[in-house]
Amino acid sequence: MDKLRVALLGATGMVGQRFVKLLENHEMFELSVLAASPSSAGKKYQDAAHWCIEGEVPEKFGEMTVVKADLENVKKEDNVDFVFSALPSDVARIVEAEFAKAGIPVISDASAYRMEEDVPILIPEVNPDHLELVKKQSNRGWRSFIVTNPNCTSNVLILALKPLQENFGIKRVIVSTMQSLSGAGWFGVTSMAILDNILPYIKNEEEKVEREALKIMGEFDGSKIIPAEFKISASCHRVNVLEGHTEAVFVELKSKADPKQVIEAMKNFRGRPQELNLPTAPENPIIVRMEADRPQPRLDRYAGNGMSVVVGRIRSDTVLDNGIKFVLVGHNTIRGAAGNAVLNAELAVREGYL
C-alpha cells in the first residue's frame, strides 16, 4: 500500500511535536506538510518549533519549511489525503471546517467540535463504532468529516472505565486528578507557581471530563449517540510532574465485583485496534500493576510507548455500593493527545474512511 500523505496543522506546539515524533517512521502515513501559525510560517521547522520533548527534532523534518495552517497554503504545498490537527480551539473551529468542507478529512486533537452532535469523540479501543457518525456531517454540506480526540484527562480515565462498563456496569464515578505540567503546554504553568506547590484548579477541565465521558461511553444507534447514563464528578489539580496524568478513581458498579474480578476484566481488555493489529495500538490498552506503590507517573508514563494506561491499587470502596477504587497513570500528550489521534487515523483507514 502506498502511504497516505498527511498535513499536520499546529505542528510546532507540544502536541504537534508528539505527532511529528510518532509520524517519523509511520508505516501508513507520510507527513508531507508541517503547518502552524502565521508567525511560524516560512521558517524551518527546527527554528519554528521550540523542541521540548525527549530527543532531538527528527532529521527529516528539521529542515522542512513550515506553512500557514489554512486550506490554501496546505494545498499549495501538497495534495494531502487527510490532516491531523493540533490547533488551538478557536482557530480549529474555522480551519478544520474549511478542510472538511473541501473534502479533506480532519483527525483532530482540538476541542472545538467535540461536543457537536454529528462529530464523534473517538477512543479506538472504546467506541470504534462511533466513527460511523461522521457520515452525518454531510448534512453540513461537507464533502469530508472531522473526528475528534477526547480531552487528555478523559481519555485515560475512559480507557480504564471501559472494561468496568462492559463487565459490571457503571452507576457513578468520582475522580480526583493530579495532572502533569505538559497538559498546560510549554508556557502554561510558570515555575514559581508550582515549585513546592499544587494548583487546585484547571480551567474548564472538570466540565470536559464530566461531559465527554458520557458521550464517548454512550451508544450509537445508527443515527445519533445516546449518552451513557452514569454520573461522573471530577476534581482536577495540577502537580509538579513533567508528563503523565495520575488519577484517583472511585466507581460504583451496577453489579458487585471484587478487586480480583476487576483486575481480570482490565487485564483482559482488548479493543478493535488490538484486533486489527494497528501499528500504534499497544498490546495491552490497560496494564495492571500489583505492587502497592504503583502506578507512578515517572516510572509508568511510557508503558506501551505511552499508549497504555497503567492501573494499580485496585481495591474495594466501602462508601459506594459495589464500590471499587484504583489509581491510574496515562501519558497525557501521547495516549491523551497525539497518539490517540494517530490511532484514530489508523482505525479510519482500516474501516474504509480514509
Contact 126, 217 (CB under 8 A): yes
Give 1: exposed, middle or buried? Use CB within 10 Å, 0-12, 13-18, 19+.
Answer: exposed
Q: Does 305 bind a second copy (CB under 8 A)?
A: no
236 is catalytic: no
Q: How many CB atoms lie within 10 A of CB 256?
A: 12
- DSSP assignment of 327-346, as one string? EEEE-TTIIIIIHHHHHHHH
320 binds a second copy, rule: CB under 8 A: yes
CB of 316 to a second copy, least distance (A): 9
Residue that is written with C-alpha cell 472494561 in the block: 163
Query: Which of 237, 254, 267, 270 is in the footprint of a second copy by CB under 8 A?
Result: 237
Q: Tell whether residue 200 is a contact of a second copy (CB under 8 A).
A: yes
Residue 245 annotated as catalytic: yes
Given the residues 26, 50, 130, 152, select the one marked as catalytic.
Answer: 152
Residue 313 within binding range of a second copy, rule CB under 8 A:
yes
Amino acid 47 reads D
**# of chain residues touching a second copy (CB under 8 A):** 57
| Residue 85 CB, nearest approach to a second copy (Å) | 22
**Among 250, 261, 270, 274, contact with a second copy (rule: CB under 8 A):** 250
Among 69, 174, 216, 347, binds a second copy (CB under 8 A): 174
Helix axes 14-23, 339-350, angle to 10 degrees: 50
Indicate the residue among 54 and 59 with the shorter CB distance to a second copy: 54
Q: Which residues, numbered 323-342, are part of the site for a second copy (CB under 8 A)? A: 323, 325, 327
Q: Considering beta carbons, is residue 73 or 240 the nearer one to a second copy?
A: 240
Closest CA to 38 of 85, 75, 91: 91
| CA-closest candidate to residue 342, choices 310, 307, 308 | 307
Q: How far apart are CA 179 and CA 253, in angstroms?
A: 25
H/E element, 324 = strand 323-330
299 is an interface residue for a second copy by CB under 8 A: yes
Binding span for a second copy by CB under 8 A among 62-70, 82-90, 145-153, 174-182: 174-182
Cis peptide, bond prior to residue 295, ω within 30 of zero:
yes
Q: Which of 42, 60, 76, 193 binds a second copy (CB under 8 A)?
A: 193
Residues 49-78: x/- map of binding to a second copy (CB under 8 A)? ---x-x------------------------
End-to-end CA distance of the chain: give it in Å, rounded: 13
Helix (H, G, I), strand (E, B) or coil at 36: strand
The catalytic residues are: 152, 245
Binding site for a second copy (CB under 8 A): 52, 54, 172-174, 176, 178, 181-182, 186-201, 203, 210, 231-233, 235, 237, 239-242, 246, 248, 250, 292-299, 302, 312-313, 317-320, 323, 325, 327
